[in-house]
Amino acid sequence: MKSIFSLVFLSIIGLSSCAQQPKANDIPVENDPKNYTTALVVSDLSIPWGMTWLPDGSMLITEKSGSLIHFKNGKKIEISNVPEVYLRNQGGLLDIEIHPDYKKNGWLYLTYSSKEGTEKGGNTALIRAQLKDNALVNIETLYKGSPNTTKGHHFGSRIEFDNQGYLYFSIGDRGARDVNPQDVTRDGGKIYRLHDDGRIPKDNPFVATLNAKKAVFSFGHRNPQGMAKNPKDGTIWVHEHGPRGGDEINIIQKGNNYGWPVITYGINYSGTKITDETKKLGMQQPLYYWVPSIAPSGMAFISSDRYPQWENSLVVGSLKFQYLELLTLKNNTVVKRQKLLEDIGRVRNVAQGPDGYLYVAVEGKGIVKIIPN
C-alpha cells in the first residue's frame, strides 16, 4: 500500500493546486494573423491520426482506418503486417513515435484499439516494431489496456519520450467515467510510463500499491489526445477532451490526480451538471482550460527559429472549430491566443518536423506545411 508519507505529500500538492486558479478562457482568441502560407505536402488522407519522421526525412503516417503510410520521395507506400485494429467510432490506428535512438535500434512505437483479450470489443494497446522491406517486423506488445469494451470512444492515445528515455502514453476513460479514471487498479483515464522495452520503472508511483496498474504515472484523465515534451525543461504536457466545456492542458507529474470526473469545468452534452465542484483537495487544477470546448487533438511546442514571431508558443489542433490554436506562454501561463489556418478543416494532429517547420494533419485533406512569410 502507499506509504503515509506519500499520501501526505499528495495532499500538500493538492492544497497548493487548490490555491492556484487556472487561466480560464478570459483571453479572447485573436483572428488569424495570416503571416504565413501553406503547402499541402501529403494529399488524399482520410483521418491522419499520428505522424513522425525517420532519420532520412521521410514520414510515417497513421490512418485511423488501420493503414500505416510511409511517405518518401513524394510517394505513399502502405506498410504491411500492421496489427488489426478494432475500428469503431474513435477507435483505430492511433499514434506513432520513433525511439530517441532510432538510428541504432530501429524501434518505432504505435498505439491502436486492439481486440486482443477474452472480452468483446477493444481497448488501447501499445506496441513496438521495426520496419523492414515495407513491413512491420519484430512486433512486441508492450501494454494492453483491459478490459475490452464495445464502447467506441475515449481510447486516447498519444505517445511521447522524455529526456531520460521513459515512454509515456495515454488511454482515455473508455466511456466509464465513474469507475476508471479515479481507480488506479483499473485501466482507463490514465497516463502511463514505461521503459522503452515495456518494463515497469521501479520508481513509478503505484508500484507498491496493492492491485494497482504498475504502469500508471498519473490518473483522473478523460480522453488525452495531445502530448508533447516541453523542450525547455523536459516536462510532459498533455491536453484532453472535456465533455461540453472543460478541455484541459496539464503538466504531468508523478502520481498526481487530475480530477476527472470529480472536478471539471465542463457539463454533460445534455446540458446537465456532472458535478458542482471545479477544485478539490488532492486534485490538480489545469494549467489552462477551454469553455466552450474546442475538441483538442494534437499538440506541439514551437522551438525552431522558423517562426520567430511565435517564439515560446504552443499549438493545439481544434476538431470542433477547424483551426489551429496558437497559445503564447509566459512562465507556463497562457497570455495570448490566436487562430491559425482558420476553416482549414478538422485538425487531427500537429508536429514540428526535423526541418523546423510545422506540419498539420487535417481530416479529409492530408498533411499541410506552414511556411512563414
Nearest to 325 by CA among 306, 302, 304, 354: 302
In single-letter form, the type of residue at position 175 comes to G
Assess contact for 251 and 235: CB atoms under 8 A: yes
Report helix, strand or coil for 330: strand
What kind and span of H or E run contains 277?
none
Active site residue 153: no
The whole-angstrom separation of Cα 81 and Cα 48 is 19
User: Phi first, then psi: what are they for 87, rounded to 5°?
Assistant: -90, 100
Helices (H) and strands (E) in the chain, counts: 2, 25
In single-letter form, the type of residue at position 88 comes to R
Quick one: 327 exposed, middle or buried, by C-beta within 10 A (0-12, 13-18, 19+)? Answer: buried
Polymer length of the chain:
373
- Burial 227-262, CB ≥16 within 10 A → b, else e: bbbbeeeeebbbbbbbbebbbbbbbbeebbbbbbbb
Longest dimension (CA), the chain: 58
> 70, 99, 153, 154: which is the annotated catalytic residue?
154
What kind and span of H or E run contains 140?
strand 135-144
Degrees, nearest 5: CA angle 257-258-259: 95
Degrees, nearest 5: CA angle 133-369-39: 105
CB atoms within 10 A of CB 211: 11
Contacts 24+ apart (CB under 8 A), 303-307: 303/231, 303/352, 304/352, 304/356, 304/357, 305/356, 306/356, 306/357, 306/358, 306/372, 307/358, 307/370, 307/372
Provide the annotated active-site residues: 154
